[in-house]
C-alpha cells in the first residue's frame, strides 16, 4: 500500500517575455530574474538547508516518522508471510486453530498498522509544524523589516506587493518542506534497494540504475523550463495583489466615477496573465510528471531485456532478474516522491529570493545612543542649513536655518506644495536631510537613540490616520495612560463631546481607517493622540483643516490656554488661517523652498505683499 498524494501545486501566471505587459513603474520591485548560471538543485537544497538548520529537531522527528512508515510498509509484507506460513497454512492442513494463533495474527497486523499510523502522524504533522514554523519565522522577519525600512522605500513599494511578500512568497519558499521527510525517508529505501541490486548482478543493476541519471536529467530539464515561469508567476502574484489592494483602497473613487469596469479590466489583465502562465506551467508539468512515473517502468523493461540475454549466456539466474526487477519496482515510488520535492524547488527559490531581497534591503536609518532624559521644559529646536529633495536636481527645501526657543510657537506659512509637510517629516525624522542638521536640545536628531525622538516630539500629520481599534487605542496607541489624561487630551482637541456620545465611549471601535467617523472627528482624534503624549515639541501640519470655524476657535483657545499655562511645549504649526497663525510668536514664510521672510504676523502682513495676498485671500471682495 503506498500513500499517494495529490500533487501539491498552485501555479498561477503571465507572459514573461512581454515587458510592456507590466507597469514600468515597478521595475525596481520586479523580482530578480532566475540566474541561469546557478544550479536550481543547489539553491533549492540551500533553502531547505536553512530550514533544517533552524528546525533540526522537528525535522528529525518527521524523518524518523517517515522511516518508521517505510520500515513498517516492509513489515506488513513480512507479517502476511509469517501469518501464511505459521497460521493459515497449518490451519487448513490440520483443520484446527488455536486462539493464541488467532490473537497473534490480530495483534501483529494491528500492531504494525498502529505503529505505521504513528509514523504517518509523526511525518505529516512534523512536516506541517516545521513548514508553519518556518513560514511564521520569515513572516515575522519580513514584517519587522517593513517597520524598519525608511519611508522612501515604502513609497516605492506598494502595500499590495508587501502583502504578497509576506504571504505568497513566504509560502512558496517553504513549500518543499511538506514532501521533504517523505523524500528523505524513502531515500533510505532507495539506498538499500540499490545496494541489494548491485550485490545481485552488476550488469543488470547498472542497466536498472540508468533510471537515476535519467530522472536527474528530466528534473533538471523541468527546472530549466519552469524556473523563469515561476519567477514571473511570483512577481505577477505580487502585482495582482498590488492592483487589488490599491483598487480596494480607492474603492470610493472607483465608485463615484463609475469606473468599476475599468478597474476590473486592470485586475483581469493580471489575473489572465497569471492564468496563462499557470497553463504553461501545467503543460510542462504534464510532460514531466508522467515521464518521472514511466522511467522506472522502462528501467524494468531494460532489466528484463538484459536479463534474458545474461541468462542465455549463463551469466545470471532467472531469480536474479526477478529480484532486480522487483527492487526496481520498489524504488519507483520513492523516486516519484523525490521528484515532487525537486519539482517544488524552482518556486521555492524564487519565493525565498523575493523575501530575502526585502530582508537584505539596507535599513538606512541609523541611530545614535543619546538620550535626552526627562526635562520638564519645552524643547529647543534648531535647523541649520537644512536641504532636502525627493528627486535629484529638484530641491524642495534649501538652506533652511532657524531657531525656535523653548516654549515658543512658530507658524510656517506657504503656498500649496511649498514644502511645509516636507519640513515636518524632517523635524520628526521620517526622512533625513540631504544637507544640514535638525537639532533638538542641542542634539542632532540622528544621534538620538531609537524611540527617543518620539518621546519628545509629536506630529499631527495633515491626513489623519486611524487604526482599526478603539478610541482609546487610537489615542494612547497602546501606552498605559490613565483615562483622565485621555479625556483631558480629548477636551483640548474638542473631541470629548462626540466621543462621550459614542455608544461605548472610549471603548467604541472605529473600523479600518476610522471609517465610522466624520472627517473632522478623525482629525480631532489625531490631534488628541499627539496631545496625550505631552510632547516637548509639537508639530501640527494643518491639523484643523477639516473642522468648522467654531470648533477650530475652541481648539485654538484651548491650546492658547495650554501655552499660557506653560504647557511645556514648543509648537511648530503649519497653517493658512489667520486665527491659527495668530497663535504664533513668529511666522516663517516659505517660498521657493526657502524662508522668504520671517517676523511676526503683523509685521509680515505689513511688509510682505505676497504673504498678505496669501493669508488675506478670504477677505477679497467677491467679484
Partner 1 sequence: MTTVAPSAGTSMATGDEISAWQTIKRGAEISPELKDGFWGTLLLALLGTAGRVVVPVVVQQTLDRGINGPHGIDLPFVTRMALVAALALVLTGASSYLMTARLFTTAERGLATLRIKAFRHVHDLPVLTQNTERRGALVSRVTSDVDQVSQFLVFGGIIGIISVGQVIVATLIMLYYSWQLTIVVWVCFAPLFLSLRYFQRRLSAAYGVVRRMVGQMLAAVSEPVVGAVVVRTHAIEGRTQARIDEAIARYQDASTKAQGLTAFSFSLGGVSAGLANALVLIVGIWLGQGHLWAGHVTSGEVLAFAFLVSLFVSPVQMGTQVLTDAQNAIAGWRRVIGILDTPADLDDPGATGASLPHRPLDIEFDHVDFAYPGGPLVLRDVDLRIEAGTRVAVVGETGSGKTTFAKVLTRLMDPVSGSVRLAGHDLRTVTFSSLRRRVVLVPQEGFLFDSTLLANVSYGDLDATPDDVRRAVIGLGLGDWLESLPLGLDTRVGQRGESMSAGERQLVALVRAHLADPDLLVLDEATSAVDPALEMRIGRALEALMSGRTSVTIAHRMSTAENADEVIVFDQGRVVQRGPHTALVAEGGVYGRLHASWVAQQGT
Q: Fill in the DSSP letter of residue 470.
A: B
Q: Tell me: does residue 488 bind ligand ATP (CB under 6 A).
A: no
Stretch that binds partner 1, among 126-134, 222-230, 433-441, 480-488 (CB under 8 A): 126-134
Stretch that binds Mg ion, among 6-14, 301-309, 458-466, 599-607 (CB under 5 A): 458-466
Query: How many other β-carbons are positioned within 10 Å of the β-carbon of residue 96?
Result: 8
DSSP three-state, residue 588: strand
Q: Which of residues 374-403 bind ligand ATP (CB under 6 A)?
A: 390, 396
Nine-digit cell string for 498: 462626540
Among 31, 414, 436, 461, binds ligand ATP (CB under 6 A): 414
DSSP three-state, residue 201: coil
Q: Please identify which residue in the block is written with the cell numbers 536628531.
A: 445
Inter-residue contact 239 to 168 (CB < 8 Å): no
Nine-digit cell string for 208: 536498472
Tell the smallest beta-carbon distance from residue 517 to ligand ATP (Å).
Answer: 5
Q: Tell me: does residue 154 bind ligand ATP (CB under 6 A).
A: no
Nine-digit cell string for 171: 509560502
Tell the smallest beta-carbon distance from residue 613 to partner 1 (Å).
Answer: 6
Q: Which is nearer to ligand ATP, 463 or 616 (CB)?
A: 463
Q: Which is nearer to ligand ATP, 401 or 518 (CB)?
A: 518
Nearest alpha-carbon partner for 513 in 546, 467, 464: 467
Q: Which is nearer to partner 1, 43 or 232 (CB)?
A: 232
Residues 6+ apart with CB under 8 A from 291: 218
Among 30, 63, 247, 422, binds ligand ATP (CB under 6 A): 422
Among 33, 106, 195, 363, binds partner 1 (CB under 8 A): 106
Q: Tell me: does residue 519 bind Mg ion (CB under 5 A).
A: yes
Please state, in angstroms and rounded to a whole number, the distance separating the CA atoms of residues 441 and 602.
Answer: 29
Stretch that binds Mg ion, among 128-136, 287-295, 462-470, 553-561 (CB under 5 A): 462-470
Q: Which of residues 531-560 bind ligand ATP (CB under 6 A)?
A: 546
Residues 6+ apart with CB under 8 A from 461: 421, 424, 526, 541
Stretch that binds ligand ATP, among 14-22, 92-100, 208-216, 417-425 (CB under 6 A): 417-425
Nine-digit cell string for 447: 544621534
Tell the smallest beta-carbon distance from residue 301 to partner 1 (Å).
Answer: 5
Contact characters 32-71, partner 1, x per CB under 8 A? ----------------------------------------
Inter-residue contact 337 to 179 (CB < 8 Å): yes
Q: Tell me: does residue 578 bind partner 1 (CB under 8 A).
A: yes
**Binding partner of residue 604 among partner 1, Mg ion, ligand ATP, none, CB under 5 to 8 Å per kind?**
none
Please state, in angstroms and rounded to a whole number, the distance separating the CA atoms of residues 69 and 334.
Answer: 13
Q: C-alpha distances in angstroms, 559 versus 432, 462, 522, 545?
A: 30, 18, 18, 16
Q: Tell me: does residue 417 bind partner 1 (CB under 8 A).
A: yes
Q: Tell me: does residue 520 bind partner 1 (CB under 8 A).
A: yes
3-state secondary structure 309-328: HHHHCCCCCHHHHHHHHHHH
Nine-digit cell string for 595: 524662508
Q: Tell me: does residue 421 bind ligand ATP (CB under 6 A).
A: yes
Q: Which is nearer to partner 1, 283 or 377 (CB)?
A: 283
Inter-residue contact 159 to 245 (CB < 8 Å): yes
Q: Fill in the DSSP letter of residue 85.
A: I
DSSP three-state, residue 10: coil
Contact residues for ligand ATP, defined by CB under 6 A? 155, 390, 396, 414, 416-422, 462, 515-521, 546
Amino acid at each position: 500500500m503506498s500513500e499517494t498524494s495529490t500533487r501539491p501545486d498552485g501555479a498561477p501566471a503571465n507572459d514573461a517575455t512581454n515587458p510592456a505587459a507590466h507597469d514600468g513603474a515597478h521595475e525596481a520591485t520586479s523580482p530578480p530574474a532566475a540566474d541561469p548560471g546557478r544550479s536550481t538543485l543547489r539553491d533549492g537544497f540551500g533553502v531547505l538547508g536553512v530550514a533544517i538548520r533552524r528546525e533540526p529537531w522537528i525535522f528529525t522527528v518527521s524523518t524518523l516518522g517517515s522511516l518508521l512508515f517505510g520500515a513498517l510498509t516492509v513489515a506488513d509484507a513480512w507479517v502476511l508471510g509469517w501469518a501464511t506460513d505459521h497460521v493459515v497454512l497449518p490451519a487448513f492442513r490440520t483443520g484446527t486453530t488455536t486462539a493464541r494463533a488467532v490473537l497473534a495474527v490480530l495483534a501483529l497486523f494491528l500492531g504494525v498498522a498502529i505503529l505505521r499510523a504513528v509514523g504517518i502522524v509523526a511525518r505529516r504533522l512534523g512536516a506541517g509544524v516545521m513548514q508553519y514554523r518556518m513560514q511564521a519565522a520569515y513572516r515575522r522577519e519580513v514584517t519587522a523589516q517593513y517597520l524598519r525600512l525608511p519611508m522612501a522605500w515604502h513609497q516605492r513599494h506598494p502595500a499590495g506587493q508587501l502583502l504578497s511578500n509576506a504571504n505568497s512568497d513566504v509560502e512558496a519558499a517553504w513549500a518543499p518542506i511538506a514532501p521533504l521527510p517523505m523524500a528523505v525517508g524513502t531515500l533510505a529505501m532507495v539506498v538499500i534497494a540499490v545496494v541489494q541490486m548491485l550485490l545481485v548482478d552488476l550488469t543488470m543493476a547498472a542497466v536498472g540504475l540508468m533510471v537515476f541519471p535519467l530522472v536527474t536529467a528530466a528534473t533538471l530539464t523541468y527546472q530549466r523550463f519552469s524556473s523563469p515561469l515561476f519567477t514571473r508567476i511570483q512577481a505577477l502574484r505580487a502585482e495582482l495583489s498590488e492592483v487589488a489592494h490599491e483598487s480596494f483602497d480607492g474603492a470610493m473613487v472607483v465608485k463615484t466615477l463609475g469606473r468599476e469596469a475599468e478597474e476590473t479590466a486592470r485586475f483581469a489583465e493580471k489575473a489572465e496573465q497569471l492564468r496563462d502562465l499557470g497553463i504553461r506551467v501545467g503543460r510542462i508539468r504534464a510532460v514531466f510528471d508522467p515521464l518521472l512515473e514511466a522511467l522506472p517502468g522502462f528501467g524494468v523493461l531494460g532489466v528484463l531485456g538484459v536479463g534474458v540475454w545474461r541468462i542465455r549466456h549463463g551469466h545470471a539466474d532467472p531469480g536474479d532478474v526477478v529480484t532486480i526487477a522487483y527492487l526496481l519496482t520498489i524504488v519507483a515510488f520513492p523516486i516519484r516522491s523525490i521528484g515532487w520535492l525537486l519539482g517544488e524547488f524552482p518556486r521555492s527559490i524564487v519565493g525565498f529570493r523575493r523575501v530575502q531581497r526585502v530582508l537584505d534591503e539596507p535599513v538606512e536609518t541609523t541611530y545614535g545612543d543619546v538620550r535626552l532624559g526627562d526635562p520638564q521644559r519645552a524643547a529647543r529646536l534648531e535647523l541649520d542649513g537644512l536641504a532636502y529633495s525627493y528627486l535629484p536636481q529638484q530641491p524642495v527645501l534649501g538652506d533652511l536655518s532657524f531657531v525656535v526657543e523653548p516654549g515658543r510657537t512658530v507658524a510656517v506659512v506657504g503656498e500649496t506644495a511649498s514644502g511645509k509637510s516636507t519640513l515636518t517629516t524632517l523635524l520628526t525624522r521620517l526622512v533625513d536631510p540631504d544637507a544640514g542638521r535638525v537639532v533638538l536640545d542641542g542634539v542632532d536628531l540622528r544621534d538620538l537613540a531609537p524611540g527617543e525622538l518620539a518621546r519628545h516630539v509629536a506630529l499631527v500629520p495633515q491626513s489623519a490616520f486611524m487604526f482599526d481599534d478603539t478610541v482609546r487605542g487610537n489615542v494612547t496607541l497602546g501606552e498605559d495612560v490613565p483615562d483622565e489624561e485621555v479625556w483631558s487630551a480629548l477636551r483640548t482637541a474638542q473631541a470629548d463631546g462626540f466621543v462621550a456620545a459614542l455608544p461605548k465611549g472610549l471603548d467604541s471601535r472605529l473600523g479600518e481607517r476610522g471609517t465610522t467617523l466624520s472627517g473632522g472627528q478623525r482629525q480631532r482624534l489625531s490631534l488628541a493622540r499627539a496631545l496625550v503624549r505631552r510632547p516637548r515639541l509639537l508639530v501640527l501640519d494643518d491639523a484643523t483643516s477639516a473642522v468648522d470655524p467654531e470648533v477650530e476657535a475652541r481648539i485654538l483657545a484651548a491650546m492658547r490656554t495650554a501655552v499660557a499655562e506653560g504647557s511645556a511645549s514648543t509648537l511648530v504649526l503649519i497653517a493658512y488661517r489667520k486665527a491659527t497663525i495668530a497663535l504664533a510668536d513668529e511666522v516663517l514664510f516659505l517660498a521657493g523652498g526657502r524662508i522668504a521672510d520671517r517676523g511676526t504676523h503683523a509685521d509680515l502682513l505689513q511688509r510682505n505683499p505676497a504673504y498678505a495676498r496669501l493669508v488675506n485671500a478670504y477677505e477679497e471682495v467677491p467679484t
